[in-house]
Structure 1
Amino acid sequence: MSFGNSSQLDASRVGSGGRGRGVAVGGGLGGGLLLLVVGLLFGQDGIDAITGGGGQDTGSRSSVEQERAERCRTGEDANRYTDCRMIATAQSLDQFWADYLPRTTGEHYVMPGVQLFEGQTETGCGAASSAVGPFYCPADETAYLDIVFFDELQTQFGAEGGPLAEEYVLAHEFGHHIQNQIGTLGYAQQDPRGPESGAVRVELQADCLAGLWAGGAAGDTSGAVDLGEISQEELDQALDAASAIGDDRIQETTQGRVSPENFTHGASAQRQLWFYAGYRTGDINACDTFSARDLDAPPAL
């Protein structure tokens, strides 16, 4: 969806590169969780893409962030440039969850970090490559995103693209942060694979939480960023993006067959259904994937 031209962007909300803490990938709580919630797209299949390389150097980060601060100021900038759109989206997500989370759960909202990077970066969960797709690291409570991913989503996986499709990607990673706060993120670690696994339920809940934001934030003019209403075309684009990154579709594309026993994120139709459940109901209770008997049929729908 588009941002009103009067929106005021805070470029400091989004950084460049990582905030590494030296935790080895595969070791400790942070590293273990990275292997399970490593990305919106690749999940467990992205483990091989995690590298030991470093992130951007400090000089490069400061230069990028200064340029971004000068370029990303208004809603018009957010509608024109992808990195500015991510800044505006993060601010919108903050506005929504800062009100919604304590009001519905009693949990105080803690802002996650947001880092845009190129190639590879250091995180609190270890070093990671952009090949894993966007991901959330619970050790440093930060969402990481290489915006080149949006091009790959269209060219490699056939997504239609569009502003709300891109915003959904960041909203999904914020969903993992909300799960980290309310205590459901750990289910992915306990049960990492399979069509009914904890990992799949975690990912589908994050999709539902992304839909919750989309429906609740649309038309909100109370904060620094002013979101427009969502058109049917924009909603269809977000649902198309969710479908493009379903386990079944990715497996069929990359290996020519579907292996449900290796699912980590949910099937295409499931990802669409749970995003829509959050969007349509506006109720966080509708996102309880862990109690759902049938992940193909969210109770709220």
Structure 2
Amino acid sequence: MSFNENARLDTSQVSGGGGGGGAPGGLVVGGGLGGIIITILLLVFGIDPSSIPTGGGTSDPGQVQAGGSTDSSAFSDCRTGADANARVECRVVGTVNSVQAFWAGELKSSKYQWQETRTVLYSGQTQSACGTASNEVGPFYCPLDKKVYIDASFFDLLTSRFGADDGALAQEYVVAHEYGHALQDQLGLLNRAQQDPQGAESGSVRTELMADCLAGVWAQHASTVPDAGGTPFLKPLTDTDIQSALSAAAAVGDDTIQKAATGRVTPESWTHGSSKSRQTWFLTGYKSGDLNRCDTFSVPSVES
């Protein structure tokens, strides 16, 4: 999904962070695409994921220095849609701009008002109120400090390790998914994931699939979302764009990752949903363009 070359980017919504390449001081599991990534890495290296403490459950937000510098000058060369088409960091900035502008407009007719949510785009590792964010963990939304954390190198991992293509919408889908979690948090829905954390029909899976659906809703409307000057951030989607997003959704399905890691699929331990259901719910949002169609908690089965 390409940006209009003359669209204006707002770098104030994204801050820099990290830079260290050492071993992470803690692990964040859950809250987005990141949890499934750390699980696969643990399995590949022969470590039992249940033996690893999570950062999110033990962090005291009053004693944690929240992630990254608040200085957005690291992205000062991300000025236009042309920059977003050329560089992944600028593509993240532009996607954050578009997603936030969309949800701000979408919520105007409701009792809710979109609360601006900053993205920390870091390198190597940085600290969040939910624990250490690292390139091993992958992207996630932290409800304790209301920020999205992304290491841009994750997009290379998504392609080289998990088989997604390297198309722009595959990357933009990841960003939009995490902002789906931010929306869930603002609507009071995010905690349902922790109340029922595992299984093919669990609250965790339904929460993740809702975020996939919300990413699809944004994708449907993205070409009409304007920058501050009225120019749409993004060009209309093509069939190739949609296939790119679907490749990313399939790549991070629990069944696909489990089979690649162990040769077995164990639905009772799923936290994010199957590849098929991730694709299905993204398409549900995309085809309908209606966030009300994303109520994954109201259906008997998310796999049907």
What is the TM-score of this pair, normalised by structure 1?
Answer: 0.85
Q: Structure 2 unaligned runs (5+)?
A: 19-24, 43-48
Question: Is 1:215 paired with 2:220?
Answer: yes
Question: Is 1:131 paired with 2:131?
Answer: no
Cα pair 1:35 1:44 within 8 Å, conserved: yes
Cα pair 1:55 1:120 within 8 Å, conserved: no
Aligned to 1:100, which of 94, 98, 106?
106
Instruction: State the alpha-carbon separation in 2 of the partners of residues 289 and 67 from structure 1.
Output: 38
Match of 1:76 in 2: 82
Give CA deviations for 1:120-174 in whole Å, capped at 9, x if unaligned.
Answer: 1111112232211100000111000001000000100111121011000000000
Instruction: State the alpha-carbon separation in 2 of the partners of residues 200 and 146 from structure 1.
Output: 23
Match of 1:21 in 2: none
Structure 1 residues 226, 167: CA separation in 2 closer, same or farther (over 3 Å shift)?
A: same
Give CA deviations for 1:217-265 in whole Å, capped at 9, x if unaligned.
Answer: 2243464552110000001100111001000000001111101011000
Cα pair 1:204 1:271 within 8 Å, conserved: yes
Aligned to 1:251, which of 255, 258, 266?
258
CA drift of 1:41 comes to 5.4
Instruction: State the alpha-carbon separation in 2 of the partners of residues 260 and 166 from structure 1.
Output: 26
Match of 1:37 in 2: 31
Give CA deviations for 1:40-98 in whole Å, capped at 9, x if unaligned.
Answer: 4517837749679999886xx85xx43420x2111100100000011110110111000
Match of 1:295 in 2: 302
> Secondary structure, in 3 states, of the residue corresponding to 2:297?
coil
Structure 1 residues 236, 269: CA separation in 2 closer, same or farther (over 3 Å shift)?
A: same
Give CA deviations for 1:189-211 in whole Å, capped at 9, x if unaligned.
Answer: 10000001000000000000000
Question: Is 1:86 paired with 2:80?
Answer: no
Aligned to 1:202, which of 196, 207, 213?
207
Cα pair 2:141 2:182 within 8 Å, conserved: yes
Cα pair 2:65 2:129 within 8 Å, conserved: no
Instruction: State the alpha-carbon separation in 2 of the partners of residues 143 and 102 from structure 1.
Output: 23
Instruction: State the alpha-carbon separation in 1 of the partners of residues 198 and 67 from structure 2.
Output: 33
Q: Structure 1 unaligned runs (5+)?
A: 19-23, 27-33
Question: Is 1:166 paired with 2:171?
Answer: yes
Instruction: State the alpha-carbon separation in 2 of the partners of residues 42 and 100 from structure 1.
Output: 30
Give CA deviations for 1:260-298 in whole Å, capped at 9, x if unaligned.
Answer: 01100000000000001011101111000001112123x
C-alpha RMSD over aligned residues: 2.6
What is the TM-score of this pair, normalised by structure 2?
Answer: 0.84
Aligned to 1:232, which of 225, 239, 242?
239
Structure 1 residues 267, 187: CA separation in 2 closer, same or farther (over 3 Å shift)?
A: same
CA drift of 1:5 comes to 1.2
Query: Percent identity between the aligned chains?
Result: 43
Cα pair 2:129 2:145 within 8 Å, conserved: yes
Question: Is 1:110 paired with 2:115?
Answer: yes
